[in-house]
Amino acid sequence: MTIPLHLGVTDVPSVKEILGFGFQQAMLCMSGLLVYPFLISNCACAGAAAVQLRVQLISATFVSCGIATILQTTFGLRLSVLHGPAMAFLPPLLAYKQQNLCPYTEHDDVPPEFWMGRMREIQGSLLAACLVFVLVGMSGIAGHLSNLIGPITIVPLMLLLTSSIVPTIEEKLSLHWISLVMLLVVVLMAVYLENTRIPIYYYSRQKKQMVSTRIRLFGQFPYLLSMLLVWFICFIMTITDLEPYNGAARTDNNVTMMVLRESPWFQVPLPLPFGTPTIGAGIFFGYLASCFASIIENIGSYDLLARTSHQKPPPKDAVNRAIAVEGIGSLLAALVGVSSGVTTYAENIALIHITKVASRTTMQFAGVVLILLGLFSKFAAILASIPDALVGGILTMGISMIGGVALSNLQMIDLKLCRNLSIMGLSLLLGLIVPLHFEKHPLNTGNVEFDNILNMLLNIKMLVGGLVATFLDNTVSGASREQRGFRDHLLAPSTSSSESDFSSDACSVESDAYAFPDSCQRLLRAVPLLQKLPILPTLKKSHFKSNRV
Protein backbone atom coordinates (compact mmCIF):
# COMPACT_ATOMS: atom_id res chain seq x y z
CA MET A 1 0.00 0.00 0.00
CA THR A 2 1.42 3.38 -1.04
CA ILE A 3 1.61 6.19 1.51
CA PRO A 4 -0.09 9.33 0.12
CA LEU A 5 1.91 12.48 -0.42
CA HIS A 6 1.79 15.21 2.19
CA LEU A 7 1.93 17.78 -0.61
CA GLY A 8 1.38 16.94 -4.28
CA VAL A 9 3.15 18.59 -7.20
CA THR A 10 0.41 21.16 -7.84
CA ASP A 11 -0.34 21.85 -4.17
CA VAL A 12 0.60 25.28 -2.83
CA PRO A 13 1.90 24.89 0.75
CA SER A 14 1.60 27.42 3.54
CA VAL A 15 4.31 30.04 3.89
CA LYS A 16 5.77 28.12 6.84
CA GLU A 17 5.97 24.90 4.80
CA ILE A 18 7.44 26.69 1.78
CA LEU A 19 10.20 28.19 3.91
CA GLY A 20 10.94 24.97 5.78
CA PHE A 21 10.84 22.41 2.97
CA GLY A 22 12.36 24.77 0.38
CA PHE A 23 15.31 25.70 2.58
CA GLN A 24 15.83 22.03 3.38
CA GLN A 25 16.07 21.13 -0.33
CA ALA A 26 18.55 23.97 -0.89
CA MET A 27 20.72 22.82 2.02
CA LEU A 28 20.71 19.19 0.84
CA CYS A 29 22.23 20.02 -2.55
CA MET A 30 24.79 22.45 -1.13
CA SER A 31 27.54 19.85 -0.86
CA GLY A 32 27.24 19.01 -4.56
CA LEU A 33 27.26 22.68 -5.53
CA LEU A 34 30.30 23.23 -3.36
CA VAL A 35 32.49 20.34 -4.53
CA TYR A 36 32.62 21.23 -8.22
CA PRO A 37 34.15 24.74 -7.83
CA PHE A 38 36.93 23.18 -5.73
CA LEU A 39 37.70 20.67 -8.49
CA ILE A 40 37.56 23.27 -11.27
CA SER A 41 39.88 25.68 -9.46
CA ASN A 42 42.44 22.87 -9.23
CA CYS A 43 42.17 22.14 -12.97
CA ALA A 44 42.67 25.82 -13.82
CA CYS A 45 46.19 25.82 -12.32
CA ALA A 46 45.68 29.27 -10.79
CA GLY A 47 48.23 28.83 -8.00
CA ALA A 48 47.74 31.38 -5.22
CA ALA A 49 44.75 32.85 -7.11
CA ALA A 50 42.83 29.56 -6.77
CA VAL A 51 40.94 30.71 -3.66
CA GLN A 52 39.74 33.91 -5.35
CA LEU A 53 38.72 31.87 -8.39
CA ARG A 54 36.93 29.44 -6.08
CA VAL A 55 34.86 32.27 -4.55
CA GLN A 56 33.87 33.44 -8.02
CA LEU A 57 32.93 29.93 -9.12
CA ILE A 58 30.91 29.18 -5.97
CA SER A 59 28.90 32.37 -6.41
CA ALA A 60 28.29 31.68 -10.12
CA THR A 61 27.36 28.04 -9.43
CA PHE A 62 24.74 28.92 -6.82
CA VAL A 63 23.13 31.63 -8.95
CA SER A 64 23.06 29.66 -12.21
CA CYS A 65 21.74 26.48 -10.55
CA GLY A 66 19.06 28.48 -8.74
CA ILE A 67 17.87 30.04 -12.00
CA ALA A 68 17.99 26.65 -13.78
CA THR A 69 15.87 25.11 -10.99
CA ILE A 70 13.20 27.82 -11.29
CA LEU A 71 13.11 27.50 -15.10
CA GLN A 72 12.81 23.69 -14.96
CA THR A 73 10.05 23.62 -12.35
CA THR A 74 8.06 26.38 -14.07
CA PHE A 75 8.55 25.87 -17.81
CA GLY A 76 10.39 22.56 -18.21
CA LEU A 77 9.39 19.25 -16.68
CA ARG A 78 7.21 21.12 -14.12
CA LEU A 79 7.93 18.55 -11.42
CA SER A 80 10.00 19.24 -8.30
CA VAL A 81 13.43 19.23 -9.94
CA LEU A 82 16.52 20.75 -8.36
CA HIS A 83 19.51 21.38 -10.60
CA GLY A 84 23.18 21.29 -9.70
CA PRO A 85 26.53 20.75 -11.48
CA ALA A 86 26.57 17.47 -13.39
CA MET A 87 29.33 15.04 -12.45
CA ALA A 88 29.03 13.68 -16.00
CA PHE A 89 31.09 16.70 -17.09
CA LEU A 90 33.94 15.89 -14.73
CA PRO A 91 35.71 13.09 -16.72
CA PRO A 92 36.50 15.35 -19.73
CA LEU A 93 37.76 18.00 -17.31
CA LEU A 94 40.04 15.47 -15.62
CA ALA A 95 41.26 14.25 -19.02
CA TYR A 96 42.01 17.87 -19.96
CA LYS A 97 43.94 18.30 -16.71
CA GLN A 98 45.93 15.14 -17.45
CA GLN A 99 46.85 16.37 -20.93
CA ASN A 100 47.71 19.87 -19.67
CA LEU A 101 49.73 19.27 -16.51
CA CYS A 102 50.10 22.22 -14.16
CA PRO A 103 53.72 23.44 -13.86
CA TYR A 104 52.96 25.54 -10.76
CA THR A 105 52.26 24.79 -7.11
CA GLU A 106 49.30 26.11 -5.15
CA HIS A 107 51.53 28.77 -3.52
CA ASP A 108 52.99 30.21 -6.75
CA ASP A 109 51.90 33.51 -8.28
CA VAL A 110 50.68 32.27 -11.64
CA PRO A 111 50.36 34.84 -14.47
CA PRO A 112 46.61 35.56 -14.87
CA GLU A 113 46.78 35.08 -18.63
CA PHE A 114 47.96 31.49 -18.12
CA TRP A 115 45.10 30.19 -15.99
CA MET A 116 42.47 32.50 -17.50
CA GLY A 117 43.43 31.13 -20.91
CA ARG A 118 42.63 27.65 -19.62
CA MET A 119 39.31 28.83 -18.23
CA ARG A 120 38.42 30.51 -21.54
CA GLU A 121 39.08 27.28 -23.41
CA ILE A 122 37.03 25.22 -20.95
CA GLN A 123 34.21 27.77 -20.97
CA GLY A 124 34.04 28.11 -24.75
CA SER A 125 34.09 24.35 -25.30
CA LEU A 126 31.29 23.88 -22.77
CA LEU A 127 29.17 26.64 -24.31
CA ALA A 128 29.40 25.04 -27.74
CA ALA A 129 28.75 21.51 -26.44
CA CYS A 130 25.69 22.47 -24.35
CA LEU A 131 23.88 23.59 -27.50
CA VAL A 132 23.30 19.85 -27.99
CA PHE A 133 20.84 19.88 -25.07
CA VAL A 134 18.74 22.57 -26.73
CA LEU A 135 18.95 20.89 -30.15
CA VAL A 136 18.00 17.44 -28.83
CA GLY A 137 15.12 18.88 -26.82
CA MET A 138 13.70 21.33 -29.35
CA SER A 139 13.89 18.82 -32.21
CA GLY A 140 11.98 16.12 -30.31
CA ILE A 141 14.90 13.67 -30.31
CA ALA A 142 14.87 13.45 -26.51
CA GLY A 143 11.31 12.10 -26.49
CA HIS A 144 12.25 9.35 -28.94
CA LEU A 145 15.40 8.54 -26.96
CA SER A 146 13.26 7.95 -23.88
CA ASN A 147 11.79 4.92 -25.69
CA LEU A 148 15.26 3.53 -26.51
CA ILE A 149 17.17 4.19 -23.30
CA GLY A 150 16.25 1.97 -20.40
CA PRO A 151 17.75 0.70 -17.14
CA ILE A 152 20.11 -1.67 -18.97
CA THR A 153 21.82 1.40 -20.46
CA ILE A 154 21.54 3.62 -17.39
CA VAL A 155 23.08 1.13 -14.91
CA PRO A 156 26.51 0.63 -16.58
CA LEU A 157 26.72 4.28 -17.67
CA MET A 158 26.23 5.65 -14.14
CA LEU A 159 28.49 3.00 -12.58
CA LEU A 160 31.25 3.90 -15.04
CA LEU A 161 30.72 7.56 -14.16
CA THR A 162 31.39 6.77 -10.50
CA SER A 163 34.49 4.72 -11.35
CA SER A 164 35.86 7.60 -13.46
CA ILE A 165 35.91 9.88 -10.43
CA VAL A 166 37.64 7.35 -8.13
CA PRO A 167 41.18 8.75 -8.80
CA THR A 168 39.98 12.26 -7.90
CA ILE A 169 38.38 10.95 -4.71
CA GLU A 170 41.62 9.15 -3.78
CA GLU A 171 43.61 12.33 -4.42
CA LYS A 172 41.37 14.37 -2.12
CA LEU A 173 41.21 11.71 0.60
CA SER A 174 45.01 11.41 0.65
CA LEU A 175 45.51 15.13 1.41
CA HIS A 176 45.01 14.70 5.15
CA TRP A 177 43.62 12.21 7.65
CA ILE A 178 40.81 14.68 8.48
CA SER A 179 39.19 13.72 5.15
CA LEU A 180 38.63 10.20 6.52
CA VAL A 181 37.09 11.73 9.65
CA MET A 182 34.82 13.73 7.36
CA LEU A 183 33.77 10.57 5.53
CA LEU A 184 33.11 8.67 8.76
CA VAL A 185 30.98 11.50 10.16
CA VAL A 186 28.95 11.71 6.94
CA VAL A 187 28.36 7.95 6.97
CA LEU A 188 27.42 8.10 10.66
CA MET A 189 24.83 10.82 10.11
CA ALA A 190 23.50 9.77 6.71
CA VAL A 191 23.33 6.01 7.34
CA TYR A 192 23.47 5.06 11.02
CA LEU A 193 21.58 8.05 12.45
CA GLU A 194 19.30 8.65 9.46
CA ASN A 195 16.07 7.84 11.32
CA THR A 196 17.12 9.17 14.73
CA ARG A 197 14.74 11.90 15.86
CA ILE A 198 16.20 14.75 17.89
CA PRO A 199 13.92 16.71 20.26
CA ILE A 200 13.73 20.41 19.39
CA TYR A 201 12.25 22.79 21.97
CA TYR A 202 10.49 26.03 21.08
CA TYR A 203 7.98 28.43 22.60
CA SER A 204 4.37 27.98 21.44
CA ARG A 205 2.30 31.16 21.44
CA GLN A 206 -0.88 29.14 21.22
CA LYS A 207 -0.11 27.00 24.29
CA LYS A 208 1.93 29.77 25.94
CA GLN A 209 4.61 27.35 27.03
CA MET A 210 7.71 25.55 25.83
CA VAL A 211 6.88 22.55 23.66
CA SER A 212 9.03 20.03 21.84
CA THR A 213 8.96 18.27 18.53
CA ARG A 214 11.18 15.51 17.18
CA ILE A 215 12.76 15.86 13.76
CA ARG A 216 15.13 13.69 11.71
CA LEU A 217 17.93 16.22 11.97
CA PHE A 218 20.75 13.89 10.87
CA GLY A 219 18.75 12.26 8.06
CA GLN A 220 17.66 15.59 6.57
CA PHE A 221 20.92 17.55 6.87
CA PRO A 222 23.73 14.94 6.94
CA TYR A 223 26.15 16.75 4.62
CA LEU A 224 25.67 20.19 6.11
CA LEU A 225 25.92 19.06 9.75
CA SER A 226 28.93 16.82 9.17
CA MET A 227 30.74 19.56 7.22
CA LEU A 228 30.13 22.10 10.01
CA LEU A 229 31.25 19.63 12.68
CA VAL A 230 34.52 18.64 10.97
CA TRP A 231 35.15 22.24 9.93
CA PHE A 232 34.89 23.15 13.63
CA ILE A 233 37.37 20.37 14.45
CA CYS A 234 39.78 21.89 11.90
CA PHE A 235 39.27 25.28 13.57
CA ILE A 236 40.14 23.81 16.99
CA MET A 237 43.24 22.16 15.51
CA THR A 238 44.24 25.51 14.01
CA ILE A 239 43.91 27.68 17.13
CA THR A 240 45.67 25.05 19.27
CA ASP A 241 48.44 24.59 16.66
CA LEU A 242 47.83 20.84 16.52
CA GLU A 243 47.89 21.30 12.75
CA PRO A 244 51.25 22.69 11.52
CA TYR A 245 51.50 25.96 9.63
CA ASN A 246 50.27 25.67 6.02
CA GLY A 247 48.80 22.25 6.85
CA ALA A 248 45.97 20.94 4.68
CA ALA A 249 43.49 21.08 7.58
CA ARG A 250 44.22 24.63 8.79
CA THR A 251 41.44 27.21 8.49
CA ASP A 252 43.65 30.33 8.66
CA ASN A 253 45.46 30.06 5.36
CA ASN A 254 46.82 33.54 4.57
CA VAL A 255 45.38 33.63 1.05
CA THR A 256 42.00 32.42 2.29
CA MET A 257 41.81 35.10 4.98
CA MET A 258 42.83 37.81 2.52
CA VAL A 259 40.13 36.74 0.06
CA LEU A 260 37.56 36.63 2.85
CA ARG A 261 38.45 40.20 3.89
CA GLU A 262 38.55 41.63 0.37
CA SER A 263 35.46 39.93 -1.05
CA PRO A 264 32.52 42.34 -1.48
CA TRP A 265 29.33 41.70 0.45
CA PHE A 266 27.19 41.59 -2.68
CA GLN A 267 28.22 40.72 -6.23
CA VAL A 268 26.32 39.66 -9.35
CA PRO A 269 28.08 36.98 -11.48
CA LEU A 270 28.78 38.50 -14.89
CA PRO A 271 28.86 36.66 -18.23
CA LEU A 272 32.22 35.77 -19.77
CA PRO A 273 34.25 36.62 -16.64
CA PHE A 274 37.51 35.36 -18.16
CA GLY A 275 37.27 37.14 -21.50
CA THR A 276 36.33 35.96 -24.98
CA PRO A 277 35.96 32.16 -24.86
CA THR A 278 37.90 29.85 -27.14
CA ILE A 279 37.23 26.25 -28.16
CA GLY A 280 39.62 23.34 -27.75
CA ALA A 281 38.74 20.42 -30.00
CA GLY A 282 39.65 17.73 -27.48
CA ILE A 283 37.70 19.01 -24.49
CA PHE A 284 34.83 20.11 -26.76
CA PHE A 285 34.23 16.57 -27.98
CA GLY A 286 34.70 15.32 -24.43
CA TYR A 287 31.99 17.69 -23.22
CA LEU A 288 29.85 16.66 -26.18
CA ALA A 289 30.01 13.06 -24.99
CA SER A 290 29.16 14.24 -21.48
CA CYS A 291 26.06 15.99 -22.81
CA PHE A 292 24.71 12.76 -24.30
CA ALA A 293 25.57 10.85 -21.12
CA SER A 294 23.80 13.51 -19.06
CA ILE A 295 20.71 13.29 -21.29
CA ILE A 296 20.55 9.52 -20.74
CA GLU A 297 21.01 9.95 -16.99
CA ASN A 298 18.32 12.63 -16.78
CA ILE A 299 15.75 10.62 -18.73
CA GLY A 300 16.06 7.96 -16.03
CA SER A 301 15.89 10.59 -13.28
CA TYR A 302 12.70 12.10 -14.73
CA ASP A 303 10.90 8.77 -14.55
CA LEU A 304 12.16 8.16 -11.01
CA LEU A 305 10.93 11.61 -9.98
CA ALA A 306 7.54 11.02 -11.63
CA ARG A 307 7.04 7.79 -9.70
CA THR A 308 8.16 9.43 -6.45
CA SER A 309 5.72 12.32 -7.08
CA HIS A 310 2.81 9.92 -7.86
CA GLN A 311 2.63 11.21 -11.43
CA LYS A 312 2.24 9.43 -14.74
CA PRO A 313 5.45 8.91 -16.74
CA PRO A 314 6.67 12.09 -18.44
CA PRO A 315 5.15 12.29 -21.94
CA LYS A 316 7.45 12.93 -24.87
CA ASP A 317 6.72 16.66 -24.99
CA ALA A 318 7.60 17.02 -21.29
CA VAL A 319 10.89 15.14 -21.78
CA ASN A 320 11.73 17.30 -24.82
CA ARG A 321 10.90 20.45 -22.88
CA ALA A 322 12.90 19.34 -19.84
CA ILE A 323 16.05 18.57 -21.86
CA ALA A 324 15.75 21.89 -23.74
CA VAL A 325 15.39 23.85 -20.50
CA GLU A 326 18.28 21.87 -19.04
CA GLY A 327 20.30 23.05 -22.02
CA ILE A 328 19.36 26.66 -21.29
CA GLY A 329 20.42 26.18 -17.67
CA SER A 330 23.71 24.60 -18.79
CA LEU A 331 24.39 27.45 -21.22
CA LEU A 332 23.74 29.95 -18.44
CA ALA A 333 26.13 28.08 -16.14
CA ALA A 334 28.81 28.01 -18.83
CA LEU A 335 28.25 31.70 -19.60
CA VAL A 336 29.04 32.80 -16.03
CA GLY A 337 32.12 30.59 -15.84
CA VAL A 338 30.89 27.34 -14.25
CA SER A 339 32.73 24.59 -16.11
CA SER A 340 29.85 22.14 -15.96
CA GLY A 341 26.34 21.68 -17.27
CA VAL A 342 23.44 21.18 -14.86
CA THR A 343 21.62 17.98 -14.01
CA THR A 344 18.79 16.66 -11.84
CA TYR A 345 20.04 15.84 -8.34
CA ALA A 346 19.11 12.33 -7.18
CA GLU A 347 19.60 13.32 -3.52
CA ASN A 348 16.71 15.75 -3.76
CA ILE A 349 14.48 13.11 -5.35
CA ALA A 350 15.30 10.86 -2.40
CA LEU A 351 14.33 13.66 0.00
CA ILE A 352 10.94 13.96 -1.73
CA HIS A 353 10.43 10.25 -1.10
CA ILE A 354 11.31 10.71 2.57
CA THR A 355 9.33 13.89 3.32
CA LYS A 356 6.39 13.11 0.98
CA VAL A 357 6.55 16.74 -0.19
CA ALA A 358 6.53 16.96 -4.00
CA SER A 359 5.23 20.52 -4.35
CA ARG A 360 7.00 22.42 -7.10
CA THR A 361 6.49 25.63 -5.10
CA THR A 362 8.94 24.45 -2.44
CA MET A 363 11.56 23.70 -5.10
CA GLN A 364 11.03 27.10 -6.72
CA PHE A 365 11.72 28.67 -3.33
CA ALA A 366 14.84 26.50 -3.04
CA GLY A 367 15.98 28.02 -6.33
CA VAL A 368 15.43 31.52 -4.90
CA VAL A 369 17.49 30.57 -1.81
CA LEU A 370 20.38 29.41 -4.01
CA ILE A 371 20.30 32.65 -6.01
CA LEU A 372 20.37 34.80 -2.85
CA LEU A 373 23.24 32.77 -1.37
CA GLY A 374 25.19 33.14 -4.62
CA LEU A 375 24.68 36.91 -4.76
CA PHE A 376 25.91 37.21 -1.17
CA SER A 377 29.59 36.81 -2.08
CA LYS A 378 30.81 36.89 1.53
CA PHE A 379 28.97 33.59 1.95
CA ALA A 380 30.81 32.19 -1.08
CA ALA A 381 34.11 33.38 0.41
CA ILE A 382 33.34 31.61 3.69
CA LEU A 383 32.59 28.38 1.82
CA ALA A 384 35.79 28.78 -0.19
CA SER A 385 37.75 28.79 3.07
CA ILE A 386 36.78 25.17 3.74
CA PRO A 387 39.99 23.09 3.79
CA ASP A 388 40.54 21.06 0.63
CA ALA A 389 40.85 17.90 2.70
CA LEU A 390 37.17 18.07 3.68
CA VAL A 391 36.08 17.89 0.04
CA GLY A 392 37.26 14.27 -0.22
CA GLY A 393 34.75 12.99 2.33
CA ILE A 394 31.84 14.95 0.85
CA LEU A 395 32.73 13.86 -2.69
CA THR A 396 33.00 10.20 -1.66
CA MET A 397 29.50 10.13 -0.18
CA GLY A 398 28.01 12.12 -3.05
CA ILE A 399 29.45 9.80 -5.69
CA SER A 400 28.36 6.76 -3.70
CA MET A 401 24.81 8.12 -3.89
CA ILE A 402 25.08 8.20 -7.69
CA GLY A 403 26.29 4.59 -7.68
CA GLY A 404 23.44 3.58 -5.38
CA VAL A 405 20.86 5.23 -7.62
CA ALA A 406 22.39 3.38 -10.58
CA LEU A 407 22.06 0.02 -8.82
CA SER A 408 18.45 0.77 -7.85
CA ASN A 409 17.54 0.48 -11.54
CA LEU A 410 18.34 -3.25 -11.38
CA GLN A 411 15.01 -3.91 -9.64
CA MET A 412 13.23 -3.08 -12.89
CA ILE A 413 15.27 -5.49 -15.04
CA ASP A 414 14.64 -9.22 -15.42
CA LEU A 415 17.93 -10.48 -14.01
CA LYS A 416 17.08 -14.09 -14.85
CA LEU A 417 17.77 -13.45 -18.53
CA CYS A 418 21.33 -14.16 -19.64
CA ARG A 419 20.87 -11.51 -22.34
CA ASN A 420 20.41 -8.68 -19.86
CA LEU A 421 23.26 -9.79 -17.62
CA SER A 422 25.61 -10.20 -20.59
CA ILE A 423 24.85 -6.75 -22.00
CA MET A 424 25.39 -4.98 -18.68
CA GLY A 425 28.51 -6.98 -17.86
CA LEU A 426 30.05 -6.48 -21.30
CA SER A 427 29.26 -2.76 -21.24
CA LEU A 428 30.92 -2.36 -17.86
CA LEU A 429 33.97 -4.39 -18.86
CA LEU A 430 34.52 -2.64 -22.21
CA GLY A 431 33.94 0.70 -20.52
CA LEU A 432 36.91 -0.10 -18.27
CA ILE A 433 39.15 -1.94 -20.75
CA VAL A 434 39.01 0.43 -23.74
CA PRO A 435 40.00 3.61 -21.81
CA LEU A 436 42.73 1.69 -19.97
CA HIS A 437 44.18 0.43 -23.27
CA PHE A 438 44.24 3.84 -24.95
CA GLU A 439 45.65 5.43 -21.81
CA LYS A 440 48.64 3.07 -22.07
CA HIS A 441 48.77 3.06 -25.88
CA PRO A 442 47.47 6.40 -27.22
CA LEU A 443 46.49 6.67 -30.86
CA ASN A 444 49.17 8.09 -33.12
CA THR A 445 47.84 8.74 -36.63
CA GLY A 446 50.26 11.57 -37.36
CA ASN A 447 47.65 14.30 -36.90
CA VAL A 448 48.14 15.71 -33.39
CA GLU A 449 44.74 17.44 -33.15
CA PHE A 450 42.87 14.38 -34.39
CA ASP A 451 44.82 12.15 -32.00
CA ASN A 452 43.99 14.40 -29.03
CA ILE A 453 40.27 14.31 -29.84
CA LEU A 454 40.07 10.53 -30.21
CA ASN A 455 42.29 9.83 -27.22
CA MET A 456 40.17 12.07 -25.00
CA LEU A 457 36.92 10.45 -26.18
CA LEU A 458 38.27 6.91 -25.84
CA ASN A 459 39.42 7.70 -22.30
CA ILE A 460 35.88 8.56 -21.14
CA LYS A 461 34.58 5.34 -19.58
CA MET A 462 30.91 6.29 -19.49
CA LEU A 463 30.94 7.17 -23.20
CA VAL A 464 32.39 3.81 -24.25
CA GLY A 465 30.21 1.76 -21.91
CA GLY A 466 27.08 3.81 -22.61
CA LEU A 467 27.40 3.41 -26.38
CA VAL A 468 27.97 -0.34 -26.07
CA ALA A 469 24.97 -0.77 -23.76
CA THR A 470 22.64 1.34 -25.93
CA PHE A 471 23.61 -0.49 -29.12
CA LEU A 472 23.35 -4.00 -27.67
CA ASP A 473 20.12 -3.39 -25.75
CA ASN A 474 18.36 -2.15 -28.88
CA THR A 475 19.74 -4.73 -31.33
CA VAL A 476 19.93 -8.01 -29.38
CA SER A 477 16.65 -9.92 -29.36
CA GLY A 478 15.39 -12.31 -26.72
CA ALA A 479 13.65 -9.98 -24.25
CA SER A 480 10.43 -8.01 -24.16
CA ARG A 481 10.37 -4.33 -23.25
CA GLU A 482 9.10 -5.26 -19.81
CA GLN A 483 12.00 -7.68 -19.28
CA ARG A 484 14.42 -4.93 -20.36
CA GLY A 485 13.04 -2.62 -17.66
CA PHE A 486 10.50 -0.76 -19.79
CA ARG A 487 7.55 -1.67 -17.58
CA ASP A 488 4.03 -0.35 -18.13
CA HIS A 489 4.66 2.71 -16.00
CA LEU A 490 7.54 3.68 -18.30
CA LEU A 491 5.37 3.77 -21.38
CA ALA A 492 3.60 6.98 -22.27
CA PRO A 493 -0.06 6.54 -21.42
CA SER A 494 -2.70 6.67 -24.06
CA THR A 495 -5.22 9.48 -24.16
CA SER A 496 -8.05 7.12 -23.42
CA SER A 497 -8.96 6.76 -19.79
CA SER A 498 -8.88 3.00 -19.89
CA GLU A 499 -5.36 2.83 -21.29
CA SER A 500 -4.02 5.61 -19.12
CA ASP A 501 -4.79 3.76 -15.91
CA PHE A 502 -1.38 2.45 -15.16
CA SER A 503 0.38 1.61 -11.95
CA SER A 504 3.85 2.26 -10.63
CA ASP A 505 4.39 0.09 -7.65
CA ALA A 506 0.70 0.55 -6.91
CA CYS A 507 1.09 4.32 -6.66
CA SER A 508 -1.92 6.52 -7.19
CA VAL A 509 -1.68 9.05 -9.99
CA GLU A 510 -2.55 12.62 -9.14
CA SER A 511 -3.60 15.42 -11.49
CA ASP A 512 -1.48 16.05 -14.58
CA ALA A 513 1.40 18.13 -13.25
CA TYR A 514 3.00 18.47 -16.68
CA ALA A 515 0.15 20.67 -17.99
CA PHE A 516 0.54 24.44 -18.10
CA PRO A 517 -1.73 26.88 -16.24
CA ASP A 518 -5.10 27.88 -17.70
CA SER A 519 -3.83 31.05 -19.39
CA CYS A 520 -1.03 29.18 -21.16
CA GLN A 521 -3.40 26.38 -22.17
CA ARG A 522 -5.77 28.89 -23.78
CA LEU A 523 -2.90 30.52 -25.64
CA LEU A 524 -1.70 27.17 -26.98
CA ARG A 525 -5.18 26.26 -28.14
CA ALA A 526 -5.57 29.65 -29.86
CA VAL A 527 -2.41 29.17 -31.95
CA PRO A 528 -2.54 25.78 -33.73
CA LEU A 529 0.99 26.25 -35.07
CA LEU A 530 2.40 26.11 -31.53
CA GLN A 531 0.95 22.64 -31.06
CA LYS A 532 3.31 21.30 -33.73
CA LEU A 533 6.39 22.10 -31.66
CA PRO A 534 7.84 18.92 -30.07
CA ILE A 535 8.25 20.67 -26.72
CA LEU A 536 4.55 21.49 -26.40
CA PRO A 537 1.67 19.04 -25.90
CA THR A 538 -0.85 18.34 -28.63
CA LEU A 539 -3.88 19.69 -26.85
CA LYS A 540 -7.32 18.23 -27.00
CA LYS A 541 -10.42 19.38 -25.22
CA SER A 542 -10.26 16.43 -22.89
CA HIS A 543 -6.78 17.52 -21.90
CA PHE A 544 -7.71 21.09 -21.06
CA LYS A 545 -7.63 21.00 -17.30
CA SER A 546 -7.20 23.58 -14.63
CA ASN A 547 -3.74 23.64 -13.16
CA ARG A 548 -1.97 25.94 -10.76
CA VAL A 549 1.50 27.33 -11.23
- 400-425: average pLDDT: 88
Cβ neighbours, 10 Å, residue 27: 16
In a domain, 247, yes or no: yes
Q: What is the structure's pLDDT at 316?
A: 87
In a domain, 509, yes or no: no
Helix axes 377-384, 360-375, angle to 10 degrees: 80
DSSP class of residue 56 equals: H
Calpha distance 335→277 (Å, rounded): 9
DSSP string, 392-403: HHHHHHHHHHHH
Encode pLDDT of 496-548 as tens digits. 333 334 343 434 444 578 878 777 777 777 777 777 788 877 655 444 444 44
Q: What are phi and psi of 99, to 5 degrees?
A: -80, -25
In a domain, 544, yes or no: no
Domain span at residue 150 reads 15-100+114-490
Encode pLDDT of 303-331 as tens digits. 878 878 888 888 888 999 999 999 999 99
Banded model confidence at residue 83, pLDDT cuts 50, 70, 90: very high
In a domain, 1, yes or no: no
In a domain, 330, yes or no: yes
Calpha distance 436→421 (Å, rounded): 23
Give me the amino acid identity at 428. L
Q: Does residue 206 carry a pLDDT above 70? A: yes
Q: What is the structure's pLDDT at 418?
A: 94
State how many domains the chain has.
1
Calpha distance 59→62 (Å, rounded): 5
Query: Helix or strand or coil: residue 344?
Result: strand
Find the range with the poorest average confidence among 66-75, 412-421, 527-536: 527-536
Calpha distance 72→78 (Å, rounded): 6
Beta bridge partners of 83: 344
Cβ neighbours, 10 Å, residue 540: 10
Query: Helix or strand or coil: residue 215?
Result: strand
Contacts of 501 (CB under 8 A, 6+ apart): none
Q: What are phi and psi of 424, to 5 degrees?
A: -65, -40
Handedness of CA 396, 296, 333, 42 (dihedral sign): positive
Encode pLDDT of 343-367 as tens digits. 888 777 777 876 778 889 999 999 9
In a domain, 108, yes or no: no
In a domain, 299, yes or no: yes
In a domain, 516, yes or no: no
